Structure 1
Amino acid sequence: MKHIGTTLGLALLGLAAGMHPAPTLAQASKPRILVLATGGTIAQTDTKEAKLLGDALVGAVPQLKDLAQVQAEQVAQVSSPDIAPEIWLRLAKRINEALASNDVDGVVVTHGTDTLEETAYFLDLVVKNDKPVVVVGSMRGSSAPSADGPANLIDAVAIAASPAARGNGVLVTLNDTIQSARDVTKTNTTSLDTFKSPDFGALGIVQGGKPTFYRHASRRHTTATEFDVASLTALPKVAIVYSYVGVDADAFEQAVRSEAKGVVYAGTGNGSIPKAVQGAAASAAKGGVVVVRASRVNGGVVERNGEHDDAALGTVTADSLNPQKARVLVMLGLTKTNDAGEMQRMFDMY
C-alpha cells in the first residue's frame, strides 16, 4: 500500500480550518470526473465530528489535476452507518443524470466504509450507463498517521478516468485494489487491507498510478439490469434476521409484523433455517413475503435445495451474495414482483 505522507494530511486539516483553494481543472483534453461526496472517514479531519465538504476534499489532493478535470458535489454528509435508502435514491439519480451528459466521463463516490459495499452494490444494479463509477473510502482520517484517504482518492480518479474501467459495472477501490461492487465486502474492522472479494478475488490493481484489470465481472449490472429508480421515492422494507444456537422464531415473526415485504435469513453454513424458524418462514412466504436463505459465513454459495426443499418451503436462495447485499437485491426486486420464482431468477442473474 502506498501512502501519501504528512503533507496531504496537513493540507486536509488546513482546508477544514478555513483555507479553501479552488480545485484547478486540468487541460481540456483530460477526462472529466465528477466526485460525489457523502461523508465518512475519508472526509474526517482532526476530530470524528469535523467533516470536509467535497470541494475541500478534492482541493486537498492536488495530484488529482494531473489525472483529470475534477469537480465535486455534496450529496450527503453522514457517517456510513447513517446512510439510508433515500440517500441511495438521491445518489443514483444524480449519477444517472451526470453520466447522461457529455460533460462527465466518470463518477467517483466518496463514502464511509461501514456500509460502502451495500451502496456500491445498489448502484451496480441501478446505474444506467457504462461509464465508470468508482466508490472509495478510507480507513484512517486525514490526521491519522499514514492516512489512506488521499491515496485512495487518487486511485479512484485514476480508475474513473481509465477507458479500461468502462463497462465493468460499479467498482470499489481501497488499498490499491480494484474490486467488483457485487463481490467485495469489508473483512476487517480496522485494517487498511479490509476490502476483499473472498470468493472471486479482485478485478485488478492500481500500480504506479495506472489501473490494470485482470478479470471482469460476469454477472449482469448497470445497463443490463431491469431496475429503474428514476420514479422511485422510497424502497420496500426488507429485514435481515440472524441465526444462532438456540434461535427461535421471535425475530422472524417480528420482522413480518413490522410489515417487512422481504426477510433475508442469515443462516448457518449453507443458509440453514432451523426447525424452530421454518414454520414462520414458510408461513411468511405463503403470505407473499419474499424469504431469502443467505449465510452468515463470509464466503461460498447458498445452494438451492441444498439444505432445504426450497420449493416446498417457499424460499429463495442468495447464491454468493452476503445477507446485506441479498437485502439490496430483494429491495429492488420487490419494486417489480414478490413472486419467489421471479426473485430466484434475479438472484441467479445478478
Structure 2
Amino acid sequence: MFNPLRKRLALLALAASTLAALAADKPNVVILATGGTIAGAGASTLNSASYQAAKVPVDKLILSVPELAKVAQVRGEQVSQIASESFTNDKLLALGKRVAALAKQADVDGIVVTHGTDTLEETAYFLNLTVRTDKPIVLVGSMRPGTALSADGALNLYNAVVVAGSPDARAKGVLVTLNDQIDSGRDVSKQINIKTDAFSSQWGALGMVVEGRNYWFRAPIKRHTAQSEFDVEQISQLAPVEIVYSYGNVPASLYEAAAAGGAKAIIHAGTGNGSVADRAVPTLRKLRQQGVQIIRSARVAGGFVLRNAEQPDDQYDWVVAHDLNPQKARILASVALAQGRSSQDLQRIFWEY
C-alpha cells in the first residue's frame, strides 16, 4: 500500500546521505584569522588605501565568501585581530604552535592563515622553517579592504582554501596566495604598497590558481617544514636579532646600540652586495669578538650576497644571508640562535634554508 509519509522520509534520508557523501569528499580546511587588511573596513567603497585593518571577525569573513562551501568544509578560529606590523616574536610562536597542533589532527587536511600584508612574508617564512608537516599551509591577505570597490580579499581567500585543500599542494612548504599567484613563503616579498599585485619573488611564482584549479610550474628546493631541523613545538623563545639599515653616512653607533640592547645577532642590511662602510667595519669586528653574530644581507630587492666578496667574511667570522632579504634573515637567525650556533653552523643554515 502506497504510504506518502514513508516515501517522503525515504527521500529525506537519501538526500541526507547524499549530502553527507558530498561533504565527505571535500577536504577539511581550518582558517586561522590574525587580522590585517583582509579583515579591514573603510569609511566608503572608495577607500581602498585608507581604512581600518583588523575589524571583521573570522566567522563573518568566511560567510562573506559562500563559494568556500563548494570546495571545502571550512571552519575558522580567531587567533588574533591586529594589523600585521604589530606582530611580535611571541605572537609568531603562538601562531606557529597552533598551526603545528592542527596539522597533527587527522580531521585537518590543510590550514589557511589570514594575515596583514606588511609582515606576511616574515610569518610565512617562520612557519616554513618551524612547522614540521607535509600538509598545505597557506597564508593569504589582501591589498584592499572588503568594503572597497574591486576588493581582492574574497578571491584571494577562496584561492587559499582551494590550495590548502589540494593534495597537489602537499610537501611544497608554506605557500602564499595573492593576486591568483601561488608563491613560496620563503621566496615571496611585498614589493609595493598600493597595488593588488604587491607580492612577488625574484625566482618566480610556484604556480597559479585559475577558476579553482591549481597550475604548478616549479617546486621549492630549500629545506622546509617536514624536512626542517627546527620545530616550533620545541622553541620557547626566539633569539633577539636586530636589523641595521645601511646608507651613506651611516654611523657605527647604530650597531653598538643594537648590541647594547641585547641582540644575539645583527643583520646588516647593506648596500649592493651587502657592502659595509669602512667606518663600520671596526665596530662590527669588535662586536663579533664579543659574541654577537654579524650577518650581511642587502637592502636591494634582488640578487644575493656573495661570501668573501666586498668583505673577507672568513677572516672576520661573519655570515652572509645569501638571497634572504633583511627581514627574512632576521627570522632565520632568530630561529637558529634560539638554540645557540657557531658562525660556521649558522652559515650552513643560511645556505640550506
Cα deviation code 1:255-307 (max 9, x no counterpart):
01111111000000000111111111111111111110000000101001011
SS at match of 2:75: strand
Deviation of 1:46 (Å): 3.5
Deviation of 1:49 (Å): 5.6
Contact persistence 1:290–1:338 (CA under 8 A): no
TM-score (norm 1): 0.91
Task: Select 1:139's aligned residue among 111, 133, 143.
Answer: 143
- The match for 1:51 is 55
Task: Select 2:267's aligned residue among 253, 260, 264.
Answer: 264
1:204 aligns with 2:207: yes
Cα deviation code 1:155-195 (max 9, x no counterpart):
00011111110000000010000000111000011110110
1:93 aligns with 2:97: yes
Deviation of 1:229 (Å): 2.1
- The match for 1:7 is none
SS at match of 2:215: strand
1:222 aligns with 2:234: no
- The match for 2:249 is 246
Deviation of 1:338 (Å): 3.3
Contact persistence 1:125–1:225 (CA under 8 A): yes
- Radius of gyration: which is bigger? 2
- The match for 2:23 is 27
**C-alpha root-mean-square deviation of aligned residues, in Å?**
1.4
Task: Select 1:158's aligned residue among 146, 162, 184.
Answer: 162
- The match for 2:49 is none
Contact persistence 1:86–1:233 (CA under 8 A): no
Cα deviation code 1:50-76 (max 9, x no counterpart):
611111111111000001000000111
Task: Select 2:132's aligned residue among 98, 115, 128.
Answer: 128
Structure 1, unmatched stretches of 5+, are 1-23
Structure 2, unmatched stretches of 5+, are 1-18, 44-51
Contact persistence 1:288–1:339 (CA under 8 A): no
Equivalent pairs counted in the alignment come to 326
Cα deviation code 1:304-327 (max 9, x no counterpart):
101111011221000000000000
TM-score (norm 2): 0.90
Task: Select 1:103's aligned residue among 107, 113, 116.
Answer: 107
d(CA) in 1 for partners of 2:167, 2:54: 35
SS at match of 2:230: coil
- The match for 2:84 is 80
d(CA) in 1 for partners of 2:230, 2:296: 22
Contact persistence 1:99–1:129 (CA under 8 A): yes
